[in-house]
Structure 1
């Protein structure tokens, strides 16, 4: 039943343990979070890292099903400053990083869109403004501070009383409440953040946080306030390409292709070679107010308000060369063009100003009523909204400057064709080497300011508002008499999920005078020291403000703005559940059983409103066709829905006082990404091809997974245990892409045609507003588009093994946690199958090590996280349908803390202290997409507890 692909390198764990040195302290007491919010809280009189690990082990042992957890070391003291960074320490949990910071999680090989994140058992909204990020349901952990979090629970098996939506896991983030503490409690901390990758921002930025909790009126009223403010300035350096396009290039030598591997002799060539410099500034504010009132012993009311504000700006300078369709070169045995060359073209100097802004607000009410000694109810309601780009501003301002390709070098008005001759050669390390020379440019210098012209401007981005209104009524009956039946849980829930988006994208080629633009060229010396250095790259990069350049566009009257495309989805889900807990014995062995079923009915409505396409505009030979739109919007609506029955059965047996065996079966689901439901059509058509288009499908069914788990846990000492678990998942309705070759109609019902096949005189033309002679018409050949649509295609099987050891070395103060997960699936991506549209993204082995020492007032922790290579997506940045792989990555973090007294502590945190780099590639390792270098980040701080 279980088969494992063992790709993990044992030397990684061995080396990690051998390097172990260690972490954190003991102050007062920490409260263990139970997996049922209606159960009493058990107090463990140990805190610090040891107490946190003991509490987490207690949760794992007492839970039904497979549950892992992290608990706070004390009030306001979560193990890491980023929740995702903490979650990656859990067996089977890996993280995705953005700007070298954890933002989303994968569990047991299932990527972020297959895991549901809840806050205090409430489904939380999410939004994104960057078009390339897409619109999924994945919560971004960068947007919430860890200081107000009291614990995180990862449910790896389904339960009837847990909100559906995750087939990898359901992750519940728990925040503190005033009744969790007795009397007055307060904590504050201040950090100096030192990001060694920063070049243009502040070298030291602040992080401030605080929490105050107090109970009044003999414990009948409680109030908790928490707030935090964090700033981070960072940098990033990258080389790579915008993707590798199949059969791009008309002068490619294919004689070296091995036809036994690649019988179609498909070759892949890069769209670009890029050298990037990023400068990023981020601000984050979090706050929470919680008021609790218990007028009588049997009733507790809680009102809470939670907010987060996240703002990130990114200045990106990019020197780039585009390999157009007439490129040449030699294909290797796989089909990769390893030395693509193209003469007589231009260099591009891109400037990006990117603004990412979100506002999250949540208001909730919770009533807990103990109706009788045996019957209790909990009513919970929340109204939560996530709003990306709340002011409606496009998130990306993009400018491209260029060398002119055609210059009047003779001075007589007759143009001489000149430009830049560029070759992109894959080095043995997989990093690109670039060679180029200039011809017929002023002074022969492609970086001379008087050789630079304005090319195009682009504005784009999403404005997204995601609102969730969720009502949940839970009941619990406890058997105070005899019999095996211990507890019955039952409930009803209604969730209304609404997402509205405005998508804007404007591209315009305009003749802007840039003589007043502050344009400089910076030496690349020192660039990318950890990714091969600056040798054989472009010698300089352009530096200018895209915002200032856009102002020139406005001042000279060339600015235009396309109307937005509106997309919206409304989902409403009604759920009913019941579950039964049994406590009995079998052959004198204590046995606990939980069995339940959840019934759900979901209605889906999606709508799009977008301008109609009149025709395509032949702008230039290298870029996309432009669309000529109608001023009116066209509405399209789709409907869908489904009903699901989700059973679960969990059984645990105490084989001995120290050994627990478990078996679990559950059926879980994951709903489709929201962008896959939109009925709008998007185009990506280029002269000479490819001709791509995409359209959503509101009739998609959710992924369904039948999950089987078997595990054994040995709790051999206080705080120490070892466990091994096997899991198997049978997933159906896997969503893939179907491609149909078809024509697409214009607003009059006629097929869109290709004006580049037989261009009229004067075409192509980049004139503002478009040259009508360059518009497609009935005499041009109709375009046969590859129309992509998401569909429920196939089934998949995933199996794996989880190994975990948590060990305390007696009273020495030393301890360690080592775990590894090996996961495999029966749907492997065949890099030679150019038609494959179904694959398991995010599937990878992972391993973690935490070693710590805490004694008296001193603590130190060393943590290592490793994730094997995995398939990230089936689309590259600008090439749909081509895979993008992330190579194996490991990161070391370290933490020191010293308690000056019972109230004051100082600490030093180091993240990515070995300054690891990230590499992504296409079908083969030499198809480089991204090679990124970050730096280490250090936090020096002080915390005070009252």
Structure 2
């Protein structure tokens, strides 16, 4: 049987060495022996390939010789296409897809399962998240400091962190894997094709990185250092529909819209350090550390149009002029009181990660100890600022707009013909156009809104493992281990209502003119037909004290319900045996094992209720639970020939519950109007005066029994074809559930009220559903030189994934977030004699996507299918005869070539009909020119 040894001789060259070995030898060699073999491979006869072709061969080698079903990308692949994060890179793998969030690929699905169902690790260690849950937002991670990404689609018992979809392992470089000193630097300049849509933001950015790898003391000490900086702009023209309501004739029509232009700038600084020490063949120590400082600033300006709700007294009218298939495509709305929005969002985060690993070879034993610590802090700053023609929503106040609304042919937005000039500072002043205020802010006193939620996520892990070689005809080795993980995640949901200082309730004149000091001119809403709109610096207004503020937590129970801390202590014990044997004289290898996982979880939160006289009753609460899971796994690989193999995998996996759903915070209410026999029905607790909503600290993981079967044919070191089928039988699916709750220990807001019953309904997330996911993956990697030598350097990477799913929650059907029925990936490349060209296409069909809502959380919406094209063209002067330019490379890249929008649809819940676009986000093309130099 032939194996491929990768001799790493620098970042831009690659060597393949063929040598005879057996499956038994491959399984039995120790980690130290494997390292020595890799070093020795450099002296074997080599076939030199470079660049992207090298990354293809590395990925093939990783896949072919893994006991589990995996796919991977290497540093060459990660760096060659225009990627602001690694999400774009791994989304090209079979069975994976990425979703754009605010213009950048951030969320990744594995075999149709979104981020909450997968696990992300860094050098094999679970990572904390800057979101509210466990799912990693990949735009936090720079591609420049990642050398390889391996996606495990089937687990083994030693893979501590598992997911129902899979495990994504981000790996840093190992300096002792290199055979020479490497220093390289890269710089890229970028520009967005939409130009700057806001006057105070830029449409040009830059990125730069420098890396250093070296070995000392005869290859016993290795050092790797990397620094990456990114300042990346992003522009957007966005359409957002409130809803599509029905008129008295049953015709659907646009009820309200919130379109705007958005400019953002992502600034990220990342530092990675790796130290390796291998004083002899028995001892190997590795230390790694990563720090990421991340800030995403967004400026959003637009007009909010309550079309179907022009006045709070219902005085507005809508005249349908044209309709198609029951949807008004052209209509006239009168007396619409629009709101000019000048909003600012900040997302700031810091990630710190440390790890230490020790391996020691003791006779037939390999002992391992691994310690890691990671921490992520995130702050959101989401500010809304309103300007209007008059305060409040009562008839007669302010100037209303008479608007002709014409829906686009594909119902992906609308064109407006307004009668008002939204750039007129004499007409639009700071103030609230709607009765949005509550509590102490006044019924119409919400002139702006500020959300400042903060999350902290901290995790410590410790692992001990021992692996022993066996003299056995079936098992080649056995490994036992224990792992302890301690995690604490908290969220504090702050907020303020903003109000102009001259506010008088119900007074149309209690608005505030926009001072020249803050006036920035206009932004164009021409893509909507709205013309120009006032632009002002709302952030400077806030900082200068132009607004009064009222703390939301004084009157809003949800602010306390969204404030929580979740604690997890997870103890894992595992045993795994590696298989190396023969079946009908065919080599069989793989592994079999089992994990026992004990979890102790708890949450601190608050019980909250409203007082009749105003304010809140707030009491701390702590709840929790413990449970255990047994997770068996089996991976088998049958070598039919040297080039062909069959794989089978079976395992039980879990996806731990979302951490925001595990919180113990609890808000409840008492409706005095229902506290009488004439309203309350003892047989229907929804008529009870009591009601509540809460998290569920006793929430259990979602469990899946999964089965995988695949065929792989490796016909060359640069090419293979594969076909895989899989099935996941899922139970304990999490969905909202109405439960009977005893309120005997709770006080009514008014002590004089005597409840007619102490029972009511509490809505909680609960393990109440079942699901099934089945799929097939087809992959072909084709170097065209297998067809004819005249096409040497050309090649293609093709994959297609087909998925079918079903979710049943108490007899009701749901959709799995992040699952597309069809996903296609296509890459064509040419790389030879220094010339490089590559174009890549990613297609995914309709799916349940995520969009940030007005509270800065992620809402699930039906995302339309999309096709994204990227391309790059470059030249490496190391292949030229110009000695002065040796080491220099130049690359030109284009992202989103076809200017593909991100679209979510408004779907009729009864008929399933797509009524129109709820979100239509156009980001434009992104252009990058890069220069690299390798010393």
Task: State if a TM-score over 0.5 links the two structures.
Answer: yes
In the alignment, what sits opposite 2:495? 505
> How far apart are the structure 2 equivalents of 1:436 and 1:526?
11
Match of 2:110 among 107, 118, 127: 107
- Measure how far apart 1:662 and its partner are: 1.1
Alpha-carbon spacing, 1:417–1:302, altered in 2? closer, same or farther (3 Å): closer
Residue by residue over 1:65-85, the C-alpha shift from the partner in whole angstroms, topping out at 9 and shown as x without a partner, is: 211111223998799553111
Residue by residue over 1:367-422, the C-alpha shift from the partner in whole angstroms, topping out at 9 and shown as x without a partner, is: 111122x2101111111100012xxxx511211122226899xxxxx967852345
Match of 1:419 among 400, 404, 411: 400
Match of 1:404 among 371, 385, 390: 390
Query: Does the 8 A contact of 1:666 with 1:708 survive in 2?
Result: yes
**Which shifted more, 291-300 or 135-144?**
291-300
**Which shifted more, 313-322 or 503-512?**
503-512
Alpha-carbon spacing, 1:79–1:664, altered in 2? closer, same or farther (3 Å): farther
In the alignment, what sits opposite 2:223? 223
In the alignment, what sits opposite 2:372? 382
- Structure 1 residue matching 2:897: 3-state secondary structure: coil
In the alignment, what sits opposite 1:153? 150
In the alignment, what sits opposite 2:772? 797
1:311 matches 2:295: yes
In the alignment, what sits opposite 1:866? 843
In the alignment, what sits opposite 2:127? 124
Match of 2:411 among 430, 438, 449: 430
- Measure how far apart 1:183 and its partner are: 4.0
In the alignment, what sits opposite 1:64? 67
**Which shifted more, 468-477 or 419-428?**
419-428
Alpha-carbon spacing, 1:37–1:707, altered in 2? closer, same or farther (3 Å): farther
Alpha-carbon spacing, 1:943–1:153, altered in 2? closer, same or farther (3 Å): same
In the alignment, what sits opposite 1:774? none
> How far apart are the structure 1 equivalents of 2:813 and 2:764?
11
- Structure 2 residue matching 1:147: 3-state secondary structure: helix
Query: Does the 8 A contact of 1:843 with 1:870 survive in 2?
Result: yes
Residue by residue over 1:266-288, the C-alpha shift from the partner in whole angstroms, topping out at 9 and shown as x without a partner, is: xx775521221111111101101
> How far apart are the structure 2 equivalents of 1:313 and 1:786?
41
Residue by residue over 1:102-148, the C-alpha shift from the partner in whole angstroms, topping out at 9 and shown as x without a partner, is: 112101111111110100000011113xxxxxx22111211121122
Alpha-carbon spacing, 1:585–1:138, altered in 2? closer, same or farther (3 Å): same
> How far apart are the structure 2 equivalents of 1:745 and 1:31?
73
In the alignment, what sits opposite 1:346? 337
Query: Does the 8 A contact of 1:852 with 1:860 survive in 2?
Result: yes
Alpha-carbon spacing, 1:138–1:343, altered in 2? closer, same or farther (3 Å): same
- Counting only pairs closer than 5 Å after superposition, residues 26-175 of structure 1 correspond to structure 2 as 27-29=12-14, 38=31, 40=34, 42=38, 46-73=49-76, 80=83, 82-128=85-131, 135-175=132-172
> How far apart are the structure 1 equivalents of 2:57 and 2:273?
29
- Measure how far apart 1:202 and its partner are: 3.6
- Measure how far apart 1:234 and its partner are: 1.9
Match of 2:631 among 646, 649, 663: 646
In the alignment, what sits opposite 1:549? 541
Residue by residue over 1:520-570, the C-alpha shift from the partner in whole angstroms, topping out at 9 and shown as x without a partner, is: 66363653xxxxxx34xx333331122133246x34655656467431000
In the alignment, what sits opposite 1:767? none
> How far apart are the structure 2 equivalents of 1:277 and 1:497?
39
Alpha-carbon spacing, 1:883–1:213, altered in 2? closer, same or farther (3 Å): closer
- TM-score if structure 1 supplies the norm length? 0.80
In the alignment, what sits opposite 1:750? 749
Query: Does the 8 A contact of 2:611 with 2:750 survive in 1?
Result: no
1:466 matches 2:457: yes
In the alignment, what sits opposite 1:933? 922
> How far apart are the structure 1 equivalents of 2:216 and 2:423?
70
Alpha-carbon spacing, 1:665–1:589, altered in 2? closer, same or farther (3 Å): same
- Counting only pairs closer than 5 Å after superposition, residues 508-519 of structure 1 correspond to structure 2 as 508-510=498-500, 511=503, 513-516=512-515, 518-519=518-519
Query: Does the 8 A contact of 1:908 with 1:940 survive in 2?
Result: yes
1:839 matches 2:824: no
- Measure how far apart 1:634 and its partner are: 2.0
Query: Does the 8 A contact of 1:407 with 1:418 survive in 2?
Result: no
Query: Does the 8 A contact of 2:422 with 2:533 survive in 1?
Result: no
In the alignment, what sits opposite 1:622? none
> How far apart are the structure 2 equivalents of 1:879 and 1:308?
22
**Which shifted more, 43-52 or 153-162?**
43-52
In the alignment, what sits opposite 1:620? none
- Measure how far apart 1:745 and its partner are: 12
In the alignment, what sits opposite 2:466? 475
> How far apart are the structure 2 equivalents of 1:740 and 1:446?
49
> How far apart are the structure 1 equivalents of 2:255 and 2:94?
39
Count of aligned residue pairs for this structure pair: 831
In the alignment, what sits opposite 1:660? 645
Alpha-carbon spacing, 1:930–1:210, altered in 2? closer, same or farther (3 Å): same
- Structure 1 residue matching 2:55: 3-state secondary structure: helix
Residue by residue over 1:310-366, the C-alpha shift from the partner in whole angstroms, topping out at 9 and shown as x without a partner, is: 011101112011243847768999987777876434111112111100000112211
**Which shifted more, 204-213 or 574-583?**
204-213
- Structure 2 residue matching 1:450: 3-state secondary structure: coil
Query: Does the 8 A contact of 1:403 with 1:446 survive in 2?
Result: no
1:821 matches 2:827: no
- TM-score if structure 2 supplies the norm length? 0.81
Query: Does the 8 A contact of 1:640 with 1:698 survive in 2?
Result: yes
1:494 matches 2:490: no
Alpha-carbon spacing, 1:386–1:788, altered in 2? closer, same or farther (3 Å): same
Alpha-carbon spacing, 1:223–1:656, altered in 2? closer, same or farther (3 Å): closer
- Measure how far apart 1:650 and its partner are: 1.1
Q: CA RMSD in A?
A: 3.9
- Counting only pairs closer than 5 Å after superposition, residues 571-590 of structure 1 correspond to structure 2 as 571-590=568-587
Query: Does the 8 A contact of 2:497 with 2:550 survive in 1?
Result: no
Residue by residue over 1:289-315, the C-alpha shift from the partner in whole angstroms, topping out at 9 and shown as x without a partner, is: 222223333112222221001011101
Alpha-carbon spacing, 1:328–1:78, altered in 2? closer, same or farther (3 Å): closer
> How far apart are the structure 1 equivalents of 2:646 and 2:575?
25
Query: Does the 8 A contact of 2:771 with 2:806 survive in 1?
Result: yes
Query: Does the 8 A contact of 1:679 with 1:695 survive in 2?
Result: yes
- Structure 2 residue matching 1:674: 3-state secondary structure: coil
> How far apart are the structure 1 equivalents of 2:61 and 2:845?
30
In the alignment, what sits opposite 2:603? 606
Residue by residue over 1:147-184, the C-alpha shift from the partner in whole angstroms, topping out at 9 and shown as x without a partner, is: 22221111111211112341001010110122122342
- Counting only pairs closer than 5 Å after superposition, residues 135-284 of structure 1 correspond to structure 2 as 135-199=132-196, 200=199, 201-243=201-243, 252-255=247-250, 272-284=256-268
Alpha-carbon spacing, 1:807–1:207, altered in 2? closer, same or farther (3 Å): same
In the alignment, what sits opposite 2:931? 942
1:368 matches 2:354: no
1:907 matches 2:891: yes
- Structure 2 residue matching 1:431: 3-state secondary structure: coil
**Which shifted more, 85-94 or 316-325?**
316-325
> How far apart are the structure 2 equivalents of 1:708 and 1:557?
59
Q: Which runs of 5+ in 1 are unaligned?
A: 1-24, 129-134, 257-267, 409-413, 439-443, 528-533, 617-627, 753-776
Alpha-carbon spacing, 1:141–1:899, altered in 2? closer, same or farther (3 Å): same
> How far apart are the structure 2 equivalents of 1:182 and 1:76?
21
- Measure how far apart 1:30 and its partner are: 6.7
- Structure 1 residue matching 2:59: 3-state secondary structure: helix
1:679 matches 2:664: yes
- Structure 1 residue matching 2:116: 3-state secondary structure: helix
- Measure how far apart 1:436 and its partner are: 6.1
- Structure 1 residue matching 2:176: 3-state secondary structure: helix
Alpha-carbon spacing, 1:556–1:171, altered in 2? closer, same or farther (3 Å): closer
Query: Does the 8 A contact of 1:399 with 1:457 survive in 2?
Result: yes
- Measure how far apart 1:931 and its partner are: 0.5
1:300 matches 2:284: yes
1:596 matches 2:611: no
Query: Does the 8 A contact of 1:663 with 1:708 survive in 2?
Result: yes
- Structure 2 residue matching 1:603: 3-state secondary structure: strand
Query: Does the 8 A contact of 1:828 with 1:839 survive in 2?
Result: no
> How far apart are the structure 2 equivalents of 1:541 and 1:718?
59
